[in-house]
């Protein structure tokens, strides 16, 4: 069934397993059905998934040929999937903030697109940003030890914890 899967170009050879999963709509749909407990993905089909990585990668500060952004349309709802694919000897301590930057890029782009379609829409209290499902696909040899919460990377977070966002 998967004998003819196209392996997208990726200069980081260790990231290819994840690139195959998230680069192929069928495998990505199977991953979302089988490895998330989100009922929203129960009936996801490959044709619901669109790769929009090329649109966002130039916006990212890091030059990433293995990070993927998918736009998923289910029940007339847009949802974005950001898959950060990491193969390193150790976990990236700044990963939570990298995810936050990516998410802000996606939401900013979404707002700009909606403004072009419906001028003034983002100023409406009824305007909602789409959900984003961040996934870190870590293929490193050691245990993931990096902070998962922003407060763990912010100075004086014990004092300002209530003002620090979290995933």
Domain boundaries, the chain: 13-163
pLDDT tens-digit map of 94-148: 888 888 888 898 899 999 999 999 999 999 999 999 988 888 877 777 777 888 7
Q: What are 70's strand-pairing partners?
A: 51, 81
Q: Which of 91, 71, 79 is nearest to 136 (CA)?
A: 91
- Other beta carbons within 10 angstroms of residue 86's beta carbon come to 22
Of 26-30, 81-85, 161-165, the poorest mean pLDDT is in: 81-85
Q: How confident is the model over 63-71, as a mean pLDDT? A: 71
* pTM, entire model: 0.77
Q: Which of 39, 95, 107, 32 is nearest to 62 (CA)?
A: 95
Beta strands in the chain (DSSP E): 49-51, 68-74, 77-86, 132-138
Q: How confident is the model over 30-36, as a mean pLDDT? A: 89
What's the pLDDT score for residue 74?
Answer: 81
- Those residues whose C-beta lies under 8 Å from the C-beta of residue 9, and which sit 6 or more positions away, are 65
Q: Based on the number of CB atoms within 10 Å of its own CB, is 167 exposed (0-12), middle (13-18) or buried (19 or more)?
A: exposed
* Mean residue pLDDT across the chain: 80
Whether residue 65 is predicted with pLDDT greater than 90 in this model: the reply is no
């Amino acid at each position: 069934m998967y004998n003819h899967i196209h392996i997208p170009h990726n200069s980081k050879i260790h990231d290819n397993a994840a690139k195959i999963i998230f680069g192929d709509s069928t495998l990505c749909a199977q991953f979302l059905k089988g490895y998330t407990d989100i009922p929203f993905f129960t009936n996801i089909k490959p044709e619901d998934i669109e790769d929009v990585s090329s649109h966002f990668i130039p916006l990212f500060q890091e030059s990433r040929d293995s990070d993927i952004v998918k736009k998923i349309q289910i029940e007339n709802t847009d949802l974005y999937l950001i898959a950060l694919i990491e193969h390193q000897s150790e976990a990236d301590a700044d990963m939570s903030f990298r995810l936050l930057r990516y998410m802000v890029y996606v939401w900013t782009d979404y707002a700009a697109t909606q403004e072009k379609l419906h001028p003034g829409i983002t100023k409406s209290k009824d305007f909602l940003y789409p959900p984003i499902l961040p996934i870190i696909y870590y293929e490193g040899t050691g245990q993931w030890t990096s902070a998962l919460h922003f407060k763990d990377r912010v100075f004086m977070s014990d004092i300002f914890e209530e003002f620090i966002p979290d995933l």
